[in-house]
Amino acid sequence: MKIVVMGGRGLIGTRLVQLLREQGHTAIAASPSTGVNAVTGEGVEAVLAGADAVVDVTNSPSFADDDVMAFFDTSTKNLLAAEATTGVGHHVALSIVGCDRIPASGYMRAKVAQEKRIVAGNVPYTIVRATQFHEFLTGIADASVVNGIVTLPPAPIQPIAALEVTQFLANVALRSPANAIIDLAGPERLRIDQAVQQALIASSDPRQVTTDPDAIYFGTPLSEDSIVPMGDYVRGEQTLAAWLENNAMRV
């Protein structure tokens, strides 16, 4: 199969291209650095020619509310149009568990808009919503500093290893479109403040996490079910502790 990975130079995209190639497929890493830009449309139809599936793991270069909305809406519109023109039979998109439950976040609103455009389009699709990656926990700490202190709520989180997300996306891309949204989450439910503290300790980061029930997470408050799966979901296998044991310097 020929599979085009939009955002093929990022954390998930790089691994996905490598995995698909190891499995004997023609996997193309597409990104602005390779001359393919879904926002402008540059190079998109050319790279999609003959493709069986497209996996979109792109991310906005700016997280400002208007910028991120424009990025996901425009890039998805252009991708779907090019897929329809070139006959791509499966559009796979990576989204976020709970994105439809925290509308105060501009980023999450943009992901919901992206999902709606895919569902309303005429290209068969599968949307994979994943929980936060183990790899991003120290980044969450960096984004949660209040008056010099990492401050987070005790809300539940169910983090997953990026490798497991990559493997799942590869499997989805090789299957028939589900025309549905699938939730993917890690094997254990933790408190986000405690999970981030574990990651900081494992990476020898001296910062201490302060717990505040009213703390804001990327611009929005969290409830008990904001960013964890509700109902049926696909469960990953690697716990945070097991991942940190082998990957402490990567968080």
Q: HSE of 239 in the Cβ direction (CA atoms, 13 Å)? A: 7
- Evaluated on CA atoms 229, 72, 56, 196, the torsion sign reads negative
Give the per-residue pLDDT at 149.
95
Ranges in the chain, pLDDT < 50: none
Give the per-residue pLDDT at 247.
81
Q: What is the pLDDT of residues 158-208, one digit of tens each?
A: 999 999 999 999 999 999 999 999 999 999 999 999 999 999 999 999 999
| Number of CB atoms found within 10 A of residue 107's CB | 21
- Rounded to whole angstroms, the Cα distance separating 174 from 53 reads 8
Give the per-residue pLDDT at 250.
54
Closest residue by Cα to residue 37 from 12, 16, 11, 7:
7
Which stretches of 53-191 are DSSP H helices?
Answer: 65-86, 106-120, 137-142, 162-174
Give the per-residue pLDDT at 47.
97
| DSSP code for 176 | P
Q: HSE of 116 in the Cβ direction (CA atoms, 13 Å)? A: 11
Give the per-residue pLDDT at 248.
59
Query: For residues 57 and 12, is the Cβ–Cβ distance under 8 A?
Result: yes
| Number of CB atoms found within 10 A of residue 78's CB | 18
Q: Quick one: which H or E segment has residue 29?
A: strand 26-30
| Number of CB atoms found within 10 A of residue 85's CB | 12
Query: For residues 114 and 200, is the Cβ–Cβ distance under 8 A?
Result: no
**Which single residue is written with the structure tokens 């709606």?**
116
Give the per-residue pLDDT at 20.
98
Give the per-residue pLDDT at 17.
97
Domain spans in the chain, listed from the N-terminal domain onward: 2-250
What CATH code would you report for 2-250? 3.40.50.720
